[in-house]
C-alpha cells in the first residue's frame, strides 16, 4: 500500500480538478490504511458525485412542522412527499432524477449503501419517510429500513441502512440537482441520525426553513451554527468552502403584512456574524404555492424565485463543486487526523490495554445518551477548571522563583551574576514548564477520556507545540557588566603599581602595591553590589514576562484541545464509537503485523547472530539478545514492535499532513490568492 | 524556608553545561579560532575592550526587538517544525540553547537567513532566523545554515557579529568601530569553525560546499545579496571550501557518517523508530519502510548488505592534522 500511495503521489496531474481527484484517491487510501473503510467510501463517493457526476446536493433543514416537505413539494410542483398534521419526515429522503439516464425510472425506491435500488411501494415509502417502524420485504429479502432500527429516541442507527429515495422526471428537477429532505431539528435523535449519515457535511446548498410565527428559536440558532460548521462555513473564512445557504421563512401568510419587515430585521440581527453577507430570506407560503402555483401573491412568487435560484445552480456546478470537494476532503482529513492520533497513542499500549479500551469505548458509546450540548458544556467547564488550576500553580511558582532568585542574587559573585544566573533562572523556569506540561497532558487526556472513553496523542502534541518556543525565548534577565571606568581603573591601578614597583622608588612601589589590591577589592565589591541591585530590579519584570508567555501558551493549548474535542465530536458524531474502535483495532492490527515481520526477520538471522558473537563490533546486533531475562526480552521486543509500528504510522501521518497542506494550497479555477513568489532565491 | 526551586542546583548545572559545551566544541572547531575567541573573552586586556559590546547590548536588543524581530513564541509563527529541527541540531553539536528571534515580514531580505548575535561568553545568545525563508529551503541546506549559526554561537562568535552590527548602526560609537577594525584577525578565521558545524549538521560535503559557493539569498524588501553590508569580512570562499574538504577527511566527520550508517543499519532491522525525520542523519521514514520491505521479501533471503561508511576508517585524519594544515596555509602563528 505505501508503494501505491507513493506511486499515486508521483503522478500528480496538472489541472486543479485532476489534483482534487488524485487527492481524494490518496485520502481514501490513507483512510483505508488507518482502518476507516466507511470514511474511505464516503470520500470516494462524494468526490465522484461532485467532480465526475457534477451533481449539487441541496439539503433542506428546519424544525418539525415548519413545512420542509411542503416546500419541496411546492418546488417540485407536485405532492410527492407526505405532509400532514402530525410530524412527518422522520428519516432522510433523497429526491433526484434517475442517475441512470437510459433507465429514467421514476417513483419510490430504497437506495442501498452499495448504490443499488429496489422499488418501494408508495405506502411503505411514506411510512419510511415518516420514520415509522414497519417490517417490509423486497424481492424476497427482508429490508431493515432506516427508521426501523431505533429502539428509542436515542438509539444509534446503523450506517449500513438504506435511504428512501424518490426518483422524479427531469422536467420536475434538473438532473444535476438532488434535494434531501431531513427530519426536524428538534427531533434530536433523528436529526443526529441524518448527521451520522454524513448528509449535512455532504450538502452543497443548505436551505434553512424557518416558521414565520416563531422565527429563530435558541435551538434553531445553535443547530444552524452546527449545520454551517458541518459544511465548512460560508465564505468569509480563509478558504471558501463553496457552500451556499438560502433562508426561507415559511407560512408567512400567518403573519400580518406590516409585521413581516420586523421579522426579517430580527432575523438579520440574530444571524449577523453567523451567516456572512446580506440576508435576503424568501418569505413563502408553500402550501398555497403547491395548490395555486400561478397565484400572484408575493409568498407564492417567492417560492418560484427560490426554485429559480436553486435550480439555477444546476449550471453552476463548476463554480461550486470543486470548492465543495476540497472542503469536504479537508473535513475528512481532519477527522482522519484525530483518529490517527488515537491510533498513534494506542501503539504505546499493551494488547490487553487496547482490548480494555475497545471494550470501554463500546460500552460508553452504547450507553451514551447525553446531549451534544451537554458534552460541549462539560468540555468547556473542565477546560476552565484545568486552566484555573494551572494559573494557580503558575502564580505560586512565580512567587517561589522570585524568592529563590533574590536569595541567589544576594550571594552570587560577578561572574555568576552576569553569566550563570540568567541561564539558571531560565532553566528553573523551563523545568517548571516541562512539569506543568506533563501535568496538563494528564488532565487533558483525562478530559478526553471522559468524552471518548479513550484518548490520543493530541494533548501531548499540542502542549509540545505550545511550550517548545518557551525554551527559545531567552533568559529575559540581563545584568550589565561593570562600567568601563571601573574596569579601566582597576587595570590602570595594577599596571601603575607594577611599573612603580619595578622602576620607581621602593616606598612608593610598596604603597601602590598595597593600595592597588585594596582599591581593586573596593571597586569590585561596589561593582558586585551595583550588579546585584540591578539584577533584583530587573527580576520581577523578567519573571512577569516569562509567566505571561507561559500562561498564554498554556491557555492556548487548553483552548485548542477543547476546540479539538468539540470538532472531533462534530466531525464523527454518531459514527464516533465505530471510528474510535476502528482506530484502536487498527493499532492492534498494526502491532501484530510488525511483530510478525520482526519474528520473520529474527528467524532468518541466526547465522548473523553467531557472526556477531564471534566478531564483536563488526556484525549486526540481534533483535533481542538471547542472554536477556525473558521478561526484559519481551519488553524489548514489545518496544521494537511499537517503534516499527509508530514509524509506519508516522509515515502515514506525514503523508496526511502533506495532503492537507496540498489541499489548502490548491488553487481552484477563479480563485486569486495573490501568490507571494519564492521565499528564497539561489 | 521556601520549598520553591533550588536555584543553586540550576547554577551548578549551568556551569557543568558550559564546561561540556566547551569540550564539545573542541571536538570540531578550528583551534586557532577557539584560542583567539578565548583570549578576547577572558584576558584582562581583551575582555574590557570587547565588553564595550556587552554594555551596548541591552540598548541594541531593546531597539532590535520592536523594529526587526519577533519572539519565537509569537502566535501565528509556523515555528514548531523549525524549532524541533533546531533542537536536534543543538543536541548534535552539544551547542548552548540560543534565544530564537524571527524576522518581521518587512525585514525579510535585509538580514541573512540565519544571524548569530550575542554578547561575550554566553550572557546572551541570539539566533535570528528568517523562518519562512528557511522553511522554503531543502532540509540539508537549512541544516547547514542553522548548524553554522549554532556553530558561531557555540564558539563565542556572537559578539563579533554584534560588534559589526553596532558599528553600522546609531548605537555604534567610536569604541565599537575601533573594536570592529581590531577584529579582523578574529573574523578572518571564524568561518572555518562555523562551516564545520554546518557540515556536521547537514552531513554532506557536497551540499556544504554548494551552500558556501552559492549561498541562498533571502527574498524580501532589501534582498540583493546573501549577506548585508555590515556582515564581517570572512575568509575567501575557496579557502573555506578547501578547509571543508580537509575536514571531510577527519575522524570527526567520519564518525558522524558512521553514526548515520549505524542508524540506517538499525532501521533495517526495524529497531529505530525516528519521530523526527530531520536532516542530521535521522532515517527518513520512507527509506525505513523500503528497507523493511526489502529485508522481508522472501526472494531476498540473503545476508544484509553492509552499509557503506559504517566504520571510521583508520586513515582518517586527526583534527590536529586538519587544523595544522589550515594554519600553515593561512600563514598564522
| Confidence bin at B293 (pLDDT 50/70/90) | very low
What distance in Å separates the CA atoms of residue A36 and residue A3, rounded to the nearest whole number? 19
Q: Does the distance separating the beta carbons of A428 and B73 come in below 8 Å?
A: no
User: In this predicted structure, what is the pLDDT of residue A88?
Assistant: 59
| C-alpha dist (Å) from residue B277 to B113, B144, B202, B204, B255 | 22, 16, 13, 16, 20
Chain B residue closest to A677 (CA)?
A: B219
Where chain A has pLDDT below 70, the residues are: 1-14, 84-90, 131-161, 185-198, 235-240, 366-371, 481-487, 490, 494, 497, 501, 504, 506, 509, 512-513, 516, 573-574, 602, 604-628, 669-682
Please name the residue that has the C-alpha cell 417513483: A107
Distance from CA of A610 to the nearest CA of B (A): 13
Q: Does the distance separating the beta carbons of B8 and A473 come in below 8 Å?
A: no
**B258 touches A: beta carbon within 8 Å:** no
User: In this predicted structure, what is the pLDDT of residue A624?
Assistant: 53
Q: Does the distance separating the beta carbons of B48 and A487 come in below 8 Å?
A: yes
Q: Is 0.90 surpassed by the pTM of this model?
A: no
Do the beta carbons of residue B264 and residue B308 sit within 8 Å?
no
**B216 touches A: beta carbon within 8 Å:** yes
Q: Does the distance separating the beta carbons of A680 and B123 come in below 8 Å?
A: no
Q: Kindly list the residues from chain A whose CB atom is less than 8 angstroms away from the CB atom of residue B218.
A: 679-681
Q: Over chain B, what is the mean pLDDT? A: 80
Q: What element of type H or E holds A411?
A: helix A372-411
Q: Does the distance separating the beta carbons of B271 and A643 come in below 8 Å?
A: yes
> Among partner residues B11, B73, B289, which is closest to A473 by beta-carbon distance?
B73
Do the beta carbons of residue A649 and residue A347 sit within 8 Å?
yes
Query: Which tens digits make up the pLDDT trace of B116-140?
Result: 998 876 568 999 999 888 988 999 9
> Among partner residues B44, B304, B311, which is closest to A491 by beta-carbon distance?
B44
User: In this predicted structure, what is the pLDDT of residue A678?
Assistant: 53
Instruction: Report the 10 Å Cβ neighbour count for B311.
Output: 17
> Which positions ≥6 away from B79 have C-beta within 8 Å?
A469, B72, B73, B100, B102, B131
Q: In B, residues 110-129, which contact A (CB 8 Å cutoff)?
A: 113, 121-124, 126
> B73, B131, B142: which to substitute to probe chain A, counting the most A Cβ within 10 Å?
B73
Query: Which tens digits make up the pLDDT trace of B151-203?
Result: 999 999 999 999 888 887 765 566 656 666 778 888 889 999 999 999 999 99
| Confidence bin at B224 (pLDDT 50/70/90) | low
Q: In B, residues 153-212, which contact A (CB 8 Å cutoff)?
A: none
Strands A680-681 and B217-218: antiparallel
Query: Which tens digits make up the pLDDT trace of B89-123?
Result: 999 999 999 999 998 888 888 899 999 998 876 56
Q: In B, residues 32-61, which contact A (CB 8 Å cutoff)?
A: 44-45, 48, 51-52, 54-55, 57-58, 61
Q: Kindly list the residues from chain B whose CB atom is less than 8 angstroms away from the CB atom of residue A647.
A: 270, 272-274, 285, 288-289
> Which positions ≥6 away from B302 have C-beta within 8 Å?
none
Instruction: Report the 10 Å Cβ neighbour count for B187.
Output: 19
Q: In A, residues 114-133, which contact B (CB 8 Å cutoff)?
A: none
Q: Sign of torsion, CA A349 A354 A356 A360? A: positive
What distance in Å separates the CA atoms of residue A173 and residue A178, rounded to the nearest whole number? 8
Complex prediction ipTM: 0.82
> Among partner residues B2, B265, B296, which is closest to A620 by beta-carbon distance?
B265
**A344 touches B: beta carbon within 8 Å:** no
HSE of B117 in the Cβ direction (CA atoms, 13 Å)? 31
Amino acid at each position: 500500500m505505501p508503494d501505491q500511495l507513493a506511486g499515486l503521489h508521483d503522478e500528480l496531474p496538472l489541472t486543479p480538478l485532476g489534483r482534487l481527484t488524485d487527492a481524494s484517491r490518496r485520502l481514501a487510501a490513507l483512510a483505508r490504511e488507518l482502518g476507516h473503510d466507511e470514511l474511505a467510501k464516503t470520500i470516494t463517493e462524494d468526490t465522484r458525485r461532485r467532480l465526475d457526476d457534477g451533481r449539487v446536493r441541496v439539503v433542506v433543514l428546519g424544525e418539525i412542522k415548519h413545512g420542509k416537505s411542503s416546500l419541496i413539494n411546492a418546488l417540485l410542483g407536485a405532492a410527492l412527499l407526505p405532509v400532514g398534521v402530525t410530524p412527518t419526515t422522520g428519516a432522510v429522503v433523497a429526491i433526484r432524477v434517475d442517475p441512470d439516464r437510459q433507465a429514467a425510472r421514476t417513483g419510490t425506491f430504497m437506495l442501498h449503501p452499495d448504490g443499488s435500488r429496489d422499488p418501494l411501494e408508495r405506502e411503505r415509502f411514506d411510512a419510511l419517510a415518516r420514520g415509522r417502524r414497519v417490517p417490509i420485504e423486497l424481492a424476497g429479502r427482508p429490508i431493515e429500513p432506516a427508521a426501523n432500527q431505533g429502539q428509542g429516541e436515542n438509539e444509534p442507527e446503523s450506517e449500513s441502512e438504506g435511504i428512501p429515495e424518490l426518483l422524479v422526471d427531469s422536467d420536475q428537477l434538473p438532473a444535476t440537482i438532488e434535494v434531501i429532505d431531513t427530519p426536524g431539528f428538534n427531533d434530536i435523535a433523528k436529526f443526529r441520525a441524518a448527521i451520522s449519515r454524513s448528509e449535512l457535511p455532504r450538502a452543497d446548498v443548505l436551505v434553512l426553513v424557518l416558521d414565520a410565527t416563531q422565527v429563530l428559536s435558541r435551538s434553531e440558532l445553535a443547530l444552524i451554527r452546527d449545520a454551517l460548521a458541518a459544511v465548512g462555513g460560508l465564505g468569509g473564512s480563509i478558504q471558501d468552502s463553496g457552500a451556499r445557504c438560502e433562508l426561507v421563512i415559511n407560512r408567512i401568510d400567518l403573519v400580518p403584512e406590516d409585521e413581516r419587515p420586523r421579522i426579517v430585521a430580527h432575523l438579520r440581527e440574530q444571524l449577523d456574524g453567523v451567516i456572512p453577507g446580506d440576508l435576503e430570506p424568501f418569505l413563502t407560503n408553500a402550501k398555497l404555492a403547491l395548490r395555486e402555483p400561478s397565484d400572484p401573491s408575493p409568498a407564492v412568487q417567492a417560492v418560484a424565485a427560490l426554485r429559480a435560484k436553486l435550480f439555477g445552480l444546476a449550471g453552476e456546478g463548476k463554480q461550486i463543486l470543486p470548492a465543495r470537494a476540497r472542503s469536504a476532503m479537508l473535513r475528512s482529513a481532519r477527522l482522519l487526523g484525530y483518529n490517527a492520533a488515537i491510533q498513534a497513542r494506542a501503539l504505546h499500549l499493551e494488547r490487553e490495554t487496547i482490548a480494555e479500551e475497545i471494550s470501554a469505548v463500546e460500552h460508553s458509546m452504547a450507553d451514551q445518551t447525553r446531549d451534544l450540548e451537554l458534552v460541549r458544556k462539560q468540555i468547556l467547564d473542565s477546560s476552565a477548571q484545568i486552566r484555573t488550576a494551572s494559573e494557580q500553580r503558575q502564580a505560586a511558582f512565580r512567587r517561589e522563583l522570585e524568592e529563590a532568585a533574590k536569595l541567589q542574587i544576594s550571594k552570587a559573585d560577578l561572574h555568576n551574576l552576569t553569566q550563570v544566573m540568567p541561564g539558571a533562572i531560565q532553566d528553573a523556569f523551563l523545568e517548571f514548564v516541562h512539569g506543568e506540561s506533563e501535568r496538563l497532558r494528564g488532565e487533558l487526556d483525562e478530559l478526553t477520556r471522559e468524552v471518548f472513553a479513550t484518548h490520543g496523542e493530541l494533548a501531548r502534541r499540542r502542549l509540545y507545540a505550545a511550550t517548545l518556543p518557551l525554551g527559545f525565548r531567552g533568559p529575559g534577565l540581563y545584568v550589565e557588566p561593570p562600567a568601563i571606568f571601573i574596569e579601566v581603573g582597576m587595570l590602570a591601578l595594577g599596571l601603575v603599581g607594577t611599573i612603580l614597583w619595578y622602576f620607581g622608588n621602593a616606598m612608593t612601589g610598596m604603597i601602590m602595591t598595597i593600595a592597588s589590591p585594596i582599591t581593586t577589592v573596593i571597586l569590585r565589591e561596589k561593582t558586585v553590589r551595583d550588579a546585584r541591585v540591578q539584577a533584583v530590579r530587573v527580576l520581577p519584570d523578567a519573571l512577569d514576562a516569562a509567566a505571561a508567555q507561559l500562561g498564554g501558551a498554556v491557555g492556548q493549548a487548553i483552548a485548542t484541545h477543547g476546540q479539538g474535542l468539540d470538532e472531533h465530536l462534530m466531525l464523527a458524531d454518531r459514527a464516533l464509537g465505530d471510528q474510535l474502535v476502528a482506530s484502536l483495532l487498527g493499532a492492534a492490527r498494526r502491532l501484530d503485523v510488525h511483530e510478525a515481520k520482526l519474528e520473520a526477520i529474527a528467524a532468518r538471522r541466526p547465522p548473523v547472530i553467531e557472526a556477531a558473537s564471534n566478531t564483536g563490533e563488526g556484525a549486526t546486533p540481534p533483535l533481542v539478545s538471547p542472554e536477556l531475562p525473558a521478561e526484559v526480552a519481551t519488553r524489548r521486543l514489545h518496544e521494537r514492535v511499537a517503534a516499527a509500528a509508530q514509524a509506519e504510522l508516522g509515515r502515514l501521518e506525514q503523508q496526511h499532513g502533506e495532503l492537507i497542506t496540498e489541499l489548502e494550497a490548491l488553487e481552484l479555477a477563479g480563485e486569486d490568492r495573490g501568490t507571494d513568489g519564492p521565499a528564497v532565491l539561489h | 524556608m521556601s520549598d520553591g526551586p533550588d536555584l543553586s542546583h540550576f547554577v551548578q548545572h549551568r556551569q557543568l553545561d558550559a564546561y561540556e559545551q566547551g569540550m564539545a566544541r573542541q571536538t570540531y572547531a578550528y583551534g586557532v579560532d577557539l584560542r583567539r575567541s578565548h583570549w578576547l573573552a577572558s584576558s584582562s586586556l581583551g575582555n574590557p575592550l570587547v565588553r564595550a559590546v556587552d554594555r551596548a547590548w541591552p540598548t541594541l536588543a531593546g531597539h532590535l526587538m520592536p523594529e526587526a524581530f519577533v519572539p519565537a513564541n509569537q502566535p501565528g509563527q509556523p515555528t514548531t517544525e523549525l524549532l524541533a529541527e533546531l533542537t536536534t541540531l543543538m543536541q548534535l553539536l552539544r551547542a548552548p540553547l540560543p534565544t530564537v528571534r524571527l524576522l518581521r515580514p518587512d525585514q525579510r531580505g535585509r538580514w541573512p537567513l540565519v544571524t548569530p548575535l550575542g554578547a561575550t561568553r554566553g550572557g546572551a545568545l541570539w539566533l535570528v532566523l528568517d523562518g519562512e525563508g528557511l522553511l522554503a529551503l531543502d532540509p540539508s541546506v537549512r541544516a547547514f545554515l542553522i548548524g553554522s549559526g549554532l556553530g558561531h554561537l557555540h564558539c563565542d562568535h556572537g559578539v563579533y557579529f554584534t560588534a559589526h552590527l553596532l558599528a553600522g548602526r546609531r548605537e555604534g560609537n567610536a569604541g565599537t568601530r575601533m573594536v570592529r577594525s581590531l577584529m579582523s584577525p578574529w573574523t578572518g578565521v571564524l568561518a572555518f569553525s562555523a562551516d564545520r558545524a554546518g557540515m556536521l549538521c547537514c552531513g554532506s560535503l557536497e551540499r556544504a560546499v554548494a551552500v558556501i559557493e552559492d549561498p541562498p539569498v533571502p527574498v524580501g524588501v532589501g534582498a540583493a545579496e546573501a549577506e548585508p553590508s555590515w556582515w564581517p569580512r570572512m575568509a575567501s570562499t575557496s579557502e573555506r571550501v578547501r578547509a571543508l574538504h580537509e575536514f571531510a577527511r577527519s575522524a570527526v566527520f567520519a564518525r558522524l557518517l558512521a553514526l548515520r550508517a549505524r542508524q540506517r543499519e538499525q532501521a533495517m532491522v526495524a529497531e529505530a523508530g525516528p519521530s523526527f525525520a530531520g536532516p542530521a542523519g535521522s532515517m527518513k521514514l520512507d527509506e525505513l519502510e523500503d528497507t523493511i520491505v526489502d529485508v522481508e521479501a522472501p526472494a531476498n533471503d540473503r545476508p544484509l548488505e553492509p552499509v557503506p561508511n559504517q566504520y571510521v576508517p583508520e586513515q582518517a585524519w586527526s583534527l590536529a592534522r586538519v587544523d595544522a594544515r589550515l594554519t600553515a596555509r593561512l600563514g598564522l602563528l
